[in-house]
């Protein structure tokens, strides 16, 4: 029985990932985290729908000390191992809309967007990867090569440098491109040794809250690690 963590679980894709994972017979527990997870009505309703399967823990990805402090609690709740870690939280821009031109770019906008979209997921990987390495590979497709846990960073097609034809959205594009690089780095470092963590950047497509998901069909294998994948499984150029 697998244990999953969904970071950024209070709304949108994160909330729906929690629901889909909790409904799976092969998932024993979903640890739902966000800045205010313990106070979110939607998550409490989901807890009632799936008794004893969903745990709510407040984690602020923009504060490293907060991430570090919750590791013991998450270790206890996960019984010492994580099979899946999904980094879902992201913002377009503090203003709520992306920059349309260079004159809209600001240090504060860049900093805030990077803290949530890039630095936060990387710090989550830093502190939770030891738990991923202890997984027995309960999720994902076995393709003759042993793997341990799976780390998924939600990215966006607009992060692709070669696919950028219209410009704009500086903070969001840059932060997601940097997240792709972080994912590639993680795939190399966490792919060494006998226990290999599969690390992928996943573009969910233009979504409603009803997910299109190659992931939940257990198609990921060691050969996918380090890639940026679209919702249909096709690779997106960096």
Q: What are phi and psi of 109, to 5 degrees?
A: -65, -45
Contact 148, 196 (CB under 8 A): yes
Sign of the torsion angle spanned by Cα atoms 180, 181, 186, 192: positive
Residue 228 β-bridge partners: 201
**pTM for this predicted structure:** 0.85
**Residue-wise DSSP of 124-185:** HHHHHHHHHTT----SS---SS----EEEEE--GGG-STT--S---HHHHHHHHHHHHHHHH
Could you tell me the residue ranges of all domains in the chain? Answer: 2-230
Nearest to 32 by CA among 20, 45, 43, 48: 43
Q: For position 215, what pLDDT does the model report?
A: 37
Q: Which residue has better confidence, 161 or 218?
A: 161
| Residue 157 pLDDT grade (very low, low, confident, very high; cuts 50, 70, 90) | confident
Sign of dihedral through CA atoms 154, 213, 233, 84?
Answer: positive
- What's the token pair of residue 238? 């960096």
CATH of domain 2-230: 3.40.50.720
* pLDDT tens readout for residues 115-144: 999 999 999 999 999 999 999 887 866 545
Tell me if 127 sits within 8 A of 72, measured CB to CB: no
Residue 161's φ and ψ, nearest 5 degrees, are: -70, -45
Q: Tally the C-alpha atoms within 13 A of residue 58's C-alpha that lie toward its C-beta.
A: 8
Predicted local distance difference test score (pLDDT) of residue 205: 72
By the 8 A CB rule, do 156 and 175 touch?
A: no
* Tally of CB atoms within 10 A around 74: 21
Beta strand spans in 80-126 (E): 84-87
**Mean pLDDT, residues 40-48:** 96
């Amino acid at each position: 029985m697998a244990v999953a963590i969904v970071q950024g679980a209070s709304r949108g894709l994160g909330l729906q990932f929690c629901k889909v994972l909790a409904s799976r017979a092969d998932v024993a527990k979903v640890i739902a985290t966000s800045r205010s997870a313990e106070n979110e009505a939607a998550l409490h309703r989901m807890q009632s729908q799936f008794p004893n399967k969903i745990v709510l823990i407040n984690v602020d990805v923009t504060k490293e000390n907060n991430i570090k402090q919750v590791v013991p609690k998450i270790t206890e709740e996960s019984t010492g191992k994580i099979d899946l870690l999904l980094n879902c939280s992201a913002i377009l821009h503090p203003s709520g809309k992306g920059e349309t031109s260079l004159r809209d770019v600001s240090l504060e906008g860049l900093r805030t967007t990077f803290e949530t979209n890039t630095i936060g997921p990387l710090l989550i990987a830093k502190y939770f990867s030891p738990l991923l390495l202890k997984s027995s590979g309960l999720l994902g497709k076995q393709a003759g090569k042993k793997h341990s846990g799976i780390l998924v960073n939600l990215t966006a097609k607009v992060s692709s440098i070669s696919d950028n034809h219209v410009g704009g959205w500086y903070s969001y594009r840059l932060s997601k491109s940097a997240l792709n690089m972080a994912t590639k780095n993680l795939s190399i470092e966490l792919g060494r040794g006998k226990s290999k963590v599969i690390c992928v950047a996943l573009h969910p497509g233009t979504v409603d809250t009803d997910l299109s998901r190659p992931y939940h069909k257990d198609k990921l294998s060691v050969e996918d690690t380090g890639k940026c994948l679209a919702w249909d499984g096709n690779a997106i150029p960096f």
